[in-house]
Every structure is written in C-alpha cells, then in structure tokens.
C-alpha cells in the first residue's frame, strides 16, 4: 500500500497551531529606504538571514546618525566610530568611508525624509558551511533611513523624563569594549522592565563598581553647582555626549567624565540624558523623587538650545541633495 509523504502524514496527524496576530509579519515597517546587497529597497524588503551571526550571536557593529532639516549632524564622527568598530571586530566591507557616506546620503534622499534616523551596520554574516569559525563568515553591510524618532516625546522634553535606577549591571569593558557600538542590550532591556515596573519611563543601570553607567541608547549627565559630570567607565562614548563637552567648552561651562555615584545623581541640581535619537533631554524625576525642584534646569535648557542651534552650522552638518 502506498504511503503518503511524511510531511503529509504529519499534517494529518497534527494540524499546524493557530498563529496569533502577534506572530504574523504585518509588513508594518517604518516608511524608509534600505541599502542591502548592492541595491536600494523599501524597508519592508530589507531582510537578514536567520543564520546570520548578527542575529544568532549579536555579532555586529553599527552606528546611527540623524538628519535634521535635510542635513546630517556630525556625520564624520559617526563614520569614525563605525569604521573603528569594524577594525576592532575584524570585519571588512567592500566600501570605503566615502562610499558609506554616499550610501547614507542616497538612503535619505531616496526616502525623502528631511528628519531621519539613519543607520549603518555590519554583521558577521553567515558561513557558507555553517561553520562556527567567525573567520569563515562573509561580513554583511547594510544601511537604512527611516523617520526620525526620539527617546523622549514632546511632552517629556517639556516636563522632563521620569527615570528609575536599576540594579542591573552594564557589561564590563573588559568583556566588550563600549566604544564598539553593539546590540548587546539584554542588560539594558532588563533595566527597562525594572523601570516600567516602578512607574518610570526609562532606566539607568550601574557599572561594575556600583556607580551609574548609562541607559538604553543614551548617556547621562548631572549638574551640581554649575559643573557637569558624566560617567567615565563602561559606557559608550556617545557622539551627543561628546557634543555636550564641545558645547560646554564654547559656553565656558566645566564638564568632567568621572565616576558618578547613585547618591550624586539623586542629589544633583539638574540631570539630563543624551542620544542621537533626541539630542539633550531633561530628567526631572529619579526613582519617584523630583530632581531639585522638579523642573527643567537652566543649564539643561541652555545646552538644549545651543545643541539645536548647531544644526544650522555648516561646520557641524552635511546637506543632503534630494531628487
């Protein structure tokens, strides 16, 4: 007697489970353009293999830069960090710095966005033989431009963010060089859930010495008696963090990278966070207690204004040529 194929037998014996809407790909991607495998594509068509080490092992580096009013902000610094990460991770791409800059400009121009969040990334890729030797993987470069998004929404920017300090510890620099921008975010994500459970809007986590480190995608500054400080160890040296130092130098404000204890942060006159996704953003509540008088402080307000003013400075920007 002829037997049906195994796959047919299994389907008859065990129907496929019902898939919830949560697990159906709705193609609800941000409106934008991606560059992948030598071509420009709508975001919905930009895919990565499930065998890519970037997916399987978070073996990747990336950088993000934003476009505001049709111009990139501090693109050169983001390119410096991206190519530095490639070198440290022993990855190679078939594009030089000028090529990557052109690809990013093209993604933005083709998308039409005048305010955009733009990412360049390289994954370890996949081995043709599924080898576990990373030297046999073919590294894969991709880039995309989507509408600009901020860590803080307009209401939060006006009143200040509510932050909770989680006891989760950031991956130490002896394990992962924090100067290499990476996707190792589980410590940060666990910190976020701690914050949500306590009614806060985002989180800060600690370094291996118990001092304040950083949050999911941002650095933190505190102001005390007119002087600024920001954590020095175990944090990504963010481009917006560097921009704050540059702005302080121009404005005659003292800013230092140093250990910042939890007590020092809670006792600060002002606190703010910094990210490419949002710039300089005020914090007015930590662990349910107001920072000083609970209002956005004068130093934070001054730096926020200077930061956005620099977006009109040709020395800090590079204009996109749209079709």
Residue for token pair 């990504």: 236
Yes or no: say if 71 and 105 are a contact pair by the CB < 8 Å rule.
no
pLDDT reading at 14 higher than 80: no
Work out the percent of the chain whose per-residue pLDDT is above 90.
88
Provide mean pLDDT across the span 140-164: 97
The pLDDT assigned to 233 comes to: 92
CA angle 65, 108, 83 (to 5 degrees): 40
3-state secondary structure at position 65:
strand
- Mean model confidence pLDDT for the chain: 93
**pLDDT tens digits, 176-196:** 999 999 999 999 999 999 999
Alpha-carbon Rg for the chain in angstroms: 22
pLDDT of residue 270: 98
For the chain, what are the domain ranges? 27-147, 154-311
Q: What is the mean pLDDT of residues 72-88?
A: 98
Residues 6 or more apart in contact with residue 299 via CB below 8 angstroms: 223, 226, 228, 253, 269, 270
CATH label, 154-311, candidates 3.30.70.330, 3.20.10.10, 3.50.50.60, 3.40.50.1110: 3.20.10.10
Quote the percentage of the chain above a pLDDT of 70.
91
Question: CA dist 199 to 137, 164, 205, 212, 285, Å?
Answer: 43, 8, 16, 20, 11
Per-residue model confidence (pLDDT) at position 11: 47
Residue 15 has pLDDT above 80, yes or no: no
Going by pLDDT thresholds of 50, 70 and 90, the confidence category of residue 7 is very low
What are the angstrom distances between the C-alpha of 197 and each of 6, 13, 216? 48, 43, 16
Query: Would you say 142 and 121 are in contact if contact means Cβ atoms under 8 Å apart?
Result: yes
Instruction: Give the separation between CA 180 and CA 39, rounded to whole angstroms.
Output: 27
**What pTM was estimated for this model as a whole?**
0.91
Q: Which pLDDT tens digit goes with each residue over 222-237?
A: 999 999 999 999 999 9
pLDDT tens per residue, range 29-76? 789 999 999 999 999 899 999 999 999 999 999 999 999 999 999 999
What's the confidence (pLDDT) of residue 30?
83
Q: Provide CATH code, domain 27-147.
A: 3.30.470.10
């Amino acid at each position: 007697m002829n037997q049906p194929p195994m796959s047919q037998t299994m389907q008859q014996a065990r129907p496929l489970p019902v898939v919830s809407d949560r697990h159906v790909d709705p193609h609800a991607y941000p409106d934008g353009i991606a560059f992948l495998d030598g071509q420009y594509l709508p975001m919905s068509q930009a895919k990565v293999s499930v065998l890519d080490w970037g997916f399987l092992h978070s073996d990747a580096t990336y950088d993000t830069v934003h476009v505001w009013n049709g111009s990139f902000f501090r693109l050169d610094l983001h390119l410096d960090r991206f190519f530095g990460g490639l070198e440290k991770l022993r990855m190679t791409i078939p594009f030089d710095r000028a090529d990557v800059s052109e690809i990013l400009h093209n993604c933005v121009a083709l998308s039409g966005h005048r305010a955009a969040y733009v990412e360049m990334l390289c994954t370890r890729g996949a081995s043709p033989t599924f080898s576990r030797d990373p030297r046999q993987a073919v590294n894969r470069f991709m880039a995309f431009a989507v509408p600009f998004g901020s860590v803080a929404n307009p209401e939060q920017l006006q009143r200040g963010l509510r932050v909770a300090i989680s006891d989760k510890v950031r991956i130490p620099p002896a394990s992962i060089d924090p100067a290499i921008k990476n996707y190792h975010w589980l410590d940060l994500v666990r910190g976020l859930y701690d914050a949500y459970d306590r009614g806060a809007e985002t989180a800060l986590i600690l370094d291996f010495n118990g001092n304040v480190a950083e949050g999911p995608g941002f650095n933190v500054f505190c102001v005390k008696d007119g002087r600024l400080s920001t954590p020095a160890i175990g944090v990504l040296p963010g481009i917006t963090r560097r921009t704050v130092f540059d702005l302080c130098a121009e404005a005659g404000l003292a800013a230092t990278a140093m250990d910042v204890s939890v007590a020092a942060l809670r006792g600060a006159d002002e606190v703010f966070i910094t990210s490419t996704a949002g710039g300089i953003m005020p914090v007015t509540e930590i662990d349910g207690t107001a920072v000083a008088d609970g209002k956005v402080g004068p130093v934070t307000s001054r730096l926020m204004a200077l930061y956005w003013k620099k977006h009109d400075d040709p020395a800090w920007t590079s204009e996109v040529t749209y079709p």
